[in-house]
Amino acid sequence: MSNRNCKKSHRWWQDSFMTTNAPALALTIAGSEATGGAGAQADLKTFQELNVFGIVNLTCIVSFDPNDNWNHRFVPVDQQTIADQLEATTASYGPASGAPSVLETVKIGMMGSPATISTVEAALKATSFKNVVLDPVLICKGQEPGHALDTDQALKAQILPLATFVTPNHFEAESLSGITINNIEDLKAAARKIHEISGAAVLAKGGVRIAGADAVDVFFDGETLEVLTAPKVGEVAVSGAGCSLAAAITAELAKGATPLEAARTAKAFVTEGIKHRVTSGAPFTALWQGGARG
């Protein structure tokens, strides 16, 4: 085959498959968790599983320390490198890129420092994304508490107001709402309060922290309040469940689901992933994103 033919056949391939079957796009701005259970790895696997073209811009690298109670060793990516990744991504797929499929949906995972929050805030303000899903990862085990507090405050002040959907766990919902959560009524009050503060749709997760046979989450978007329940699978939190839930919401929103539909699909996806969780030498199991395949 001549070079010319080769080029022609390449174009034919592109036209027939790539443009007609273009997947929805989603970006996660998140940290790497080296063992693959949580963070950017969980997000990317979830996107792929839900038929969404996933993009990762890394904020930090977390390596659990088996010699220190599996606490997190945390290394930030430098600010210029985070900004460079965001620039590359928005130039390729952002609203002004001219791409046939535009990136409208972003998930915010672990930021890890006030500096990273400012870098990401600037990028979110420069590109108006339709869906900004915030998984408000507040405290990372092993992080210095003073530093974590600064990060929490910056997240609340700078990123939460830009979010269209927020997925706090029990601890994060208490911190964001100021409400102590002991039961489902408290979780509902917290979801309402976080919506009031942020204007975002909220999925407040009770997980294994609220007593009872079911894992209960509360959805509230200012109009609809829905309690999502699924039977608990064990009584111990599974690594990657929170990341995968928010990533599944992100993927579903990218494909055009409503926030409530996205929350329901994500809950079912995560429940199956927990049922098929993966055991390792670490003292926790990891969610398997392929669990919903049947």
Binding residues vs ligand PXL (CB under 6 A): 30-31, 33, 38-39, 62, 109-110, 137, 242-243
Q: Based on CB atoms, which residue is closest to ligand PXL, 110 or 134?
A: 110
Q: For residues 150 and 138, give the distance between their C-alpha atoms in angstroms, rounded to a whole number.
A: 10
- Within the chain, what is the greatest distance between any pair of CA atoms? 71
CB of 241 to ligand PXL, least distance (A): 8
Q: Based on CB atoms, which residue is closest to ligand PXL, 188 or 205?
A: 205
Q: Based on CB atoms, which residue is closest to ligand PXL, 33 or 221?
A: 33
Pairing verdict, β 52-65 and 24-33: parallel
CB of 213 to ligand PXL, least distance (A): 24
* DSSP per-residue codes, 138-159: ---TTS-HHHHHHHHHHIIIII
Q: Based on CB atoms, which residue is closest to ligand PXL, 31 or 259?
A: 31
CB of 55 to ligand PXL, least distance (A): 16
CB of 72 to ligand PXL, least distance (A): 6
> What is the dihedral sign for C-alpha 254, 255, 258, 263?
negative
CB of 42 to ligand PXL, least distance (A): 8
Of 209, 208, 205, nearest to 219 by C-alpha is 205
Q: Based on CB atoms, which residue is closest to ligand PXL, 94 or 109?
A: 109
Q: Based on CB atoms, which residue is closest to ligand PXL, 242 or 291?
A: 242
**Coil vs helix vs strand at 57:** strand
End-to-end C-alpha distance for the chain, whole angstroms: 44
CB of 169 to ligand PXL, least distance (A): 9
- Could you tell me which residues come within 8 angstroms of residue 8 by beta carbon, excluding any fewer than 6 positions away? none
Pairing verdict, β 52-65 and 71-76: antiparallel
* Amino acid in position 145: P
Q: Based on CB atoms, which residue is closest to ligand PXL, 85 or 188?
A: 85
**Coil vs helix vs strand at 265:** helix
CB of 171 to ligand PXL, least distance (A): 11
**Rounded to 5 degrees, what angle do the CA atoms 19, 249, 187 make?**
170
Q: For residues 242 and 167, give the distance between their C-alpha atoms in angstroms, rounded to a whole number.
A: 8
